[in-house]
Structure 1
Amino acid sequence: MLIIPAENAVNWKRPPWVTLGLMFTCLMVFLFYQGSDSRKLEQAVSEYLASDLQSLEAPAYETYLEREISIQGDESRIHELQRFQELQRDNDEFWLALSLLMDREFYRYLESNQDVLWSVRDRARWNEQRSPIEANYIERLSAFQLGLVPAELSLYTLVTYQFLHGGWGHIIGNLVFLFLLGFTVEKALGPGRFLIAYLVCGALSGLVFTAFSLGSPVPLVGASGSISGLMGMYVAIYGLQRIRFFYFLGVYFNYIKAPAIAMLPVWLGKEIYDYWFAGATGIAYMAHAGGLLAGAGLVWLLGRSWLQVREEFFEPEADEQDARFTSGYGQAMASLGRMEFDLARHQFEALRGHYPDRPILLEHLYQLAKLRPDLPEYRARTIELMNDALARRQPEQMIEVWKEYLAKGEAHQPLGAEDHNRVLFTSLKQHDTKAAEKAFERLRGTGDQLLTVEACRLLVEEFEKLRMEPKARHYRQLLQAN
């Protein structure tokens, strides 16, 4: 049974760059760093067969497996014994040699029990021929260099093992789940915090795996622990919110809606159950369980501080926002058509609270306020629209709004010196000297001496550049009078 969250779609206008970067890194490591592993294994098997070490180790291997089954009660070894006996019957030397070389617990058993297993002469031959194969090939495999070996735990391998994989099926499966979960969690946390949380979940997952595999020489590789951390973070972020999950059971699949956090015990219980009852599958179930707990725990512990979810994460996607805006805008315009101006104003104000970056809403509010030029709201909307036009680099609109206010509202609610001064600066940049002079007269009338003197200097400079000496002389005289 497979259950994965399916609440969000990818917004390719804002790609999940860290998720894509992690996927690319895993793929490049697999292709270019781990790509030499197969050659090393082939060389190891070739030397192993040439040394005829199989004649020494094969009988010991059967004894070892039978011992594990009878004394240790490890029933998963039954399948390994049966498979090994089949390889012997088929005389498949390559796979026999590979099985003997890659069973790390068996190799450690040979090292510890060689005095009992072989004569002095056979022990000497085994050490002389097996040690170089280990040093030159097996120990140089990527899984032993950068994988997480519980018996030889080191800090750097808690990170590096997350980027190694055991084969094409392993890496493809992990990359699919990394993408499905990663783009949502990255959107929620932001790129930097997402990357750190991903790596921390992988490290904690590795520590849990080590705790349940103390002393094991078998390396752990793969991003599944980190990805389980993403699953834990995903459901902790949504909490009790009901979200969609895709599930696959046999040949049947469908969607269900459930509180997000309800999936955590389901996933966790499955991993723990499989750890105890699934047998030898080669899957690190406790690493997955550790990742799930690590991801959820990080969000619960740090969700109100460093790992806080960004507010915009819970906002609807762009298409849904457009649909909602269109619906609300249509209702407000209908109110205008019925001449229900107060209702329309409230509707436009509510829309603007949700969509502050839509300038059309401010323009409607300005037009509604203009119906009563004697009220302070008209002045406030005028200043707001002038500033918005300037911010959107539309100086002509700013000047036109200002001129309109002078004609309709200035007599009731005069603009301030700063407003006229801003228009003067904008007009000079647009080389509109008439508007600049008009703004200067309004500014002068406010009585703000400091701004008036500075504006006068600017007009002198502008008219001198234009070689309009009478105008320049006029403003020089005003400047001297002040």
Structure 2
Amino acid sequence: MLIIPAENAVNWKRPPWVTLGLMLACLLVFMFYQAGDDRIMEEAIEQYLDADLQELEAPAYEDYLDRLIRFDGEESRILELQQFQELRQDGEPFWIAVSLLMDPEFYQYLLENQDIIWAPAERERWLEARVAIQENYIQQLSANQLGLVPADLSLYTLITYQFLHGGWGHIIGNLVFLFLLGFTVEKALGPGRYLLAYLVCGALSGLVFSAFSTGSHIPLVGASGSISGLMGMYVAIYGLQKIRFFYFLGVYFNYFRAPALAILPVWVGKEIYDYWFAGATGVAYMAHAGGLIAGAGLVWLLGRSWLQVREEFYEPEDAEQDARFTNGYGQAMASLGRMEFDLARRQFEALFEHYPERTILLEHLYNLAKLRPDLPEYLSRTRQLMDDAMKRQQPEQMVAVWQEYLSKGESHQPLAAEDHNRVLFTSLKQHDMKSAEKAFERLRNSGNEVLTSEACRLLVAEFEKQQMEPKARHYRQLLQAGH
């Protein structure tokens, strides 16, 4: 049974760059760094067969598996023993060598019991050949170099093991789940905190795995512990809110809605059950359980401080926002049609608060404020609309709004010298000398000597550039006379 959350869709206008970066890192590590493992393993097998070590180790391996079954209760090893015996009967030296070389626990068993297993001559021959193969080849495999080995735990492998994988099926499955979960959690936490939380969950997952595999020399690799952490964070972020889940059971699949946190014990319980009853599958169930608990725990412990969910995470998606805007805009326009101007103004203000990037709302608010040019709101909306026009690189509209205000509102609420100065600069860039001179006169009457002097110099320079000497002389005289 598979259950995964499916509440959100990817917003490609704001791509989940950290999630995509983690996926790319795992893929590059697998394709390039781990690509050397095949060559190393081939050379190890060649050396192993040349030294004829399978004749020494194969009987010991059968005895080793038999002991695990009879004395340690590892009944899952029965099938493994039967398959190995079939390999010996069929005369498959290559696969026999693979089985013996890739079982680190068996190698430790041989080291500890070599005096009992072999006579001195055989023991010396085994040590000379096998230890060299182990050190020169097996220990150079990526899983042994950077994988998480519980018997030899180190801080850096708590991070590095998360980027290694055991095969194409392993990495593809993990990358799919990393993407499906990661883009939502990244949106909720923000890139930096998301990346750190992802790595911390992977490290805590590795520690839980090590606690249940004390003394084991089998390396743990893969991002599944970190991804389980994302699953834990995902449901903890939504809490008791009902969200949509996708489930797959056999050949049947569908969706259902449930409180997010209700699924957490189901996930954790499944991993613990599989750990005790699924047998030797090669799946790190306790790493998954540890990741789930770590992810949810981090959000619960730090969700009001360091791991607080960003406000924009709860904003509706673009399609929903468009529908809300269209509905609200229609209501405001209907109020305008009924000449209910106060109601329309409040409706446009509410819309503008949620959609400040939509200029049409500001234009409506400006036109409504223009109905009462004697009030300060008209001045405020004029400045807002002038700023917006400049941001959208529409200088002509900016000058037009300024000119309209001069005719309607200037006598009630005068613009500041800085406002006229902006219009002057904009007009000069557009070579609109008529508007520039008009702005200069307004600036001159404002009493701001510094801005007026600078504006006068700009006008002199511009008229000289256009070879309009009478105009240039006029402004030089104003400059010399102190305006």
TM-score (norm 1): 0.94
Mapped partners of 2:136, 2:421: distance in 1:
80
Structure 1 residue 336 corresponds to structure 2 residue 336? yes
Where does residue 317 of structure 1 map in the other structure? 317
Which segment is superposed worse, 426-435 or 83-92? 83-92
**How far did residue 31 of structure 1 move?**
2.1
Counterpart secondary structure, 1:247 = strand
Alignment correspondent of 2:119: 119
The C-alpha deviation readout for 1:395-414, integer Å capped at 9, x for no partner, is 11111111111222222332
> 1:302-357 CA deviation, whole Å, 9 max, x = no partner?
33333333222222222222222222222222222232222221111111011001
Looking at structure 2, the residues matched to 397 and 199 of structure 1 have their Cα atoms a distance apart, in angstroms, of 51
State the distance in 2 between where 1:465 and 1:177 align. 65
Quote the offset at 1:4 in angstroms.
0.6
Within 2, Cα distance between the matches of 1:205 and 1:79? 29
Q: Which amino acid aligns with 1:311?
A: E
Q: CA deviation at 1:228?
A: 1.0
- The worse-fitting range, judged by mean Cα deviation, of 32-41 and 172-181 is 32-41
Q: Which residue matches 1:176?
A: 176
Q: Which residue of 1 aligns with 2:151?
A: 151
CA distance in 2, matches of 1:415, 1:139: 77
1:185-214 CA-to-partner distances (Å, cap 9, x unmatched) read 222223333222222221221122112111
Distance 2:480 2:49 in 1: 105
Which range moved further: 464-473 or 116-125? Answer: 464-473
Whichever residue aligns with residue 183 of structure 2, its letter is F
Measure the CA separation in 2 of the matches of 1:333 and 1:4: 43
Instruction: Please give the alpha-carbon distance, in whole angstroms, between the structure 2 residues aligned to 1:18 and 1:234.
Output: 16
How far residue 112 of structure 1 moved from its aligned partner, in angstroms, is: 0.7
**Paired position in structure 1 for 2:193:** 193
In structure 2, do the counterparts of structure 1 residues 399 and 51 end up closer, same or farther at CA, with 3 Å as the change threshold? same
Q: 1:8-41 deviations in whole A, cap 9, x for unaligned?
A: 1112222222222222222222222222323333
How far the C-alpha of 1:102 sits from its partner, in A, is 1.6
Alpha-carbon distance change, 335 to 41 in structure 1, aligned in 2, over 3 angstroms:
same
> Matches of 2:235 and 2:363 in 1, distance apart?
42
Whole-angstrom distance in 1 between the partners of 2:444 and 2:99: 94
**Is it true that 1:165 corresponds to 2:165 in the alignment?**
yes
Please give the secondary structure, in 2, of the residue aligned with 1:281.
coil
How has the CA–CA distance of structure 1 residues 402 and 94 changed in structure 2, closer, same or farther, with 3 Å as cutoff? same
- 2:142 paired residue number: 142
Number of the residue aligned with 1:479: 479
Q: 1:110 corresponds to which residue?
A: 110
1:210 correspondence with 2:210: yes
CA deviations 1:225-252 (Å, max 9, x no partner) are: 1111111222222223221111112222
Which amino acid in the other structure matches residue 141 of structure 1?
A: L
Give 1:255's aligned residue. 255
- Please name the residue that 1:219 is paired with: 219
Aligned to 1:11: 11
Partners of 2:36 and 2:446 in 1: how far apart? 81
Equivalent residues in 2 for 1:78-89 (5 A)?
78-89=78-89
The corresponding residue for 2:349 is 349
Equivalent residue for 2:418?
418
In structure 2, distance between residues paired with 1:469 and 1:174: 75
After superposition, the Cα gap between the structure-2 partners of 1:460 and 1:39, relative to the gap in structure 1 and judged at 3 Å, is: closer
Q: 1:291 corresponds to which residue?
A: 291
**Which residue is equivalent to 2:60?**
60
CA distance in 1, matches of 2:480, 2:226: 74
Paired position in structure 2 for 1:26: 26
Larger mean Cα displacement after TM superposition, 66-75 or 147-156: 66-75
Counterpart secondary structure, 2:254: strand
CA distance in 1: counterparts of 2:204 and 2:438, whole angstroms: 70
Find the aligned partners of 1:453 and 1:41 in 2 and give their Cα distance.
81
Distance in 2 (alpha carbons) for counterparts of 1:86 and 1:16: 50
Larger deviation: 298-307 or 288-297?
A: 298-307
Whole-angstrom distance in 1 between the partners of 2:377 and 2:45: 86
Paired with 1:294 and 1:56, the residues of 2 have a C-alpha distance of: 45
How far apart are the structure 2 equivalents of 1:252 and 1:56?
50
In structure 2, the residue matched to 1:430 is: 430
Alignment match, 1:269: 269
Distance in 2 between residues matched to 1:414 and 1:40, nearest whole Å: 82
Answering whether residue 280 of structure 2 is matched by residue 280 of structure 1, we say yes
Q: Report the Cα offset of residue 450 of structure 1.
A: 3.8
Whole-angstrom distance in 2 between the partners of 1:13 and 1:375: 40
* Distance (whole Å) between structure 1 residues aligned to residue 97 and residue 469 of structure 2: 101
Q: Distance in 1 between matches of 2:125 and 2:266?
A: 53
Q: Which residue of 1 aligns with 2:470?
A: 470
**In structure 2, what is the Cα distance between the partners aligned to 1:40 and 1:450?**
77
Deviates more, 1:325-334 or 1:84-93: 84-93
2-structure distance, mates of 1:123, 1:382: 93
Distance (Å, rounded) in 2 between the aligned partners of 1:466 and 1:124 = 100
Partner-residue secondary structure (3-state), 1:256: strand
Distance 2:462 2:168 in 1: 72
String of CA shifts for 1:142-178, please: whole Å, max 9, x gaps.
Answer: 1111111111112222222111111121111111111
Work out the CA distance in 2 between the residues paired with 1:54 and 1:476.
102
Alignment partners' CA distance in 1, 2:27 and 2:451: 63
Letter in 2 for 1:279: G
Q: Which amino acid aligns with 1:194?
A: Y
Distance 2:6 2:479 in 1: 70
Equivalent in the alignment of 2:69? 69
Range moving further from structure 2, 401-410 or 457-466 = 457-466
- Cα RMSD over matched residues? 2.0
Q: Determine helix, strand or coil for the equivalent of 2:245.
A: strand
One-letter identity of the residue aligned with 1:443: L
Letter in 2 for 1:250: G
- Residue 56 of structure 1 aligns with an amino acid whose one-letter code is L
Query: Is 1:40 the counterpart of 2:40 in the alignment?
Result: yes
Measured at CA, do residues 458 and 45 of structure 1 come closer, stay the same or move farther in structure 2, by a change above 3 Å?
Answer: closer
Question: Which residue in the other structure is 2:244 paired with?
Answer: 244
Cα distance, 1:280 vs structure 2: 0.9
Select between 104-113 and 53-62 the one with higher mean Cα deviation: 53-62
Structure 1 portions without partners, runs of 5+: none
% identity of equivalent residues: 78
